[in-house]
Amino acid sequence: DVKVTQSSRYLVKRTGEKVFLECVQDMDHENMFWYRQDPGLGLRLIYFSYDVKMKEKGDIPEGYSVSREKKERFSLILESASTNQTSMYLCASSFPEAPETQYFGPGTRLLVL
């Protein structure tokens, strides 16, 4: 079974704080993704990575950065959290043979005060 884990289920941070969201997958997947989910908007892609140290912007990268130092770990960084980044964040990974079929972690619900 594919296992994608995220470091926290719930986080509360203050405006201006630097926030790290961690994602780990145990299936040796090359591709990893970060999405945010907001009511009425579905999931929107923030960044994805197709290899260690490789990254590409998704549809809404502003205000975020990412880090992929090891294959199994993909971190999402909010350099200076703002209230409009309050959201559910979902990490996903996929097999290289079927990069479009993504497997998701449980999500981190972030509240920025």
Partner 1 sequence: AQKVTQAQTEISVVEKEDVTLDCVYETRDTTYYLFWYKQPPSGELVFLIRRNSFDEQNEISGRYSWNFQKSTSSFNFTITASQVVDSAVYFCALSPGMDSSYKLIFGSGTRLLVRP
- Among residues 14, 18, 44, 57, the one that binds partner 1 under rule CB under 8 A: 44
In contact, 111 and 17? CB cutoff 8 Å: no
- Among residues 8, 13, 45, 71, the one that binds partner 1 under rule CB under 8 A: 45
Is 60 near partner 1 (CB under 8 A)?
Answer: no
The type of residue at 36 is R
Q: Which residues 80-109 are close enough to bind partner 1 by CB under 8 A? A: 88, 90, 92, 94, 98-107, 109
DSSP 16: T
What does the alpha-carbon distance between residue 29 and residue 32 come to, in Å, rounded to a whole number? Answer: 7
What does the alpha-carbon distance between residue 41 and residue 76 come to, in Å, rounded to a whole number? Answer: 20
What does the alpha-carbon distance between residue 9 and residue 17 come to, in Å, rounded to a whole number? Answer: 18
DSSP 41: T
Number of residues that bind partner 1 (CB under 8 A): 28
- Among residues 34, 47, 48, 74, the one that binds partner 1 under rule CB under 8 A: 48
Least distance to partner 1, CB of residue 69, Å: 20
What does the alpha-carbon distance between residue 107 and residue 10 come to, in Å, rounded to a whole number? Answer: 9
Least distance to partner 1, CB of residue 49, Å: 10
Task: Give the binding site for partner 1 (CB under 8 A).
Answer: 9, 31, 33, 40-45, 48, 50, 56, 58, 88, 90, 92, 94, 98-107, 109
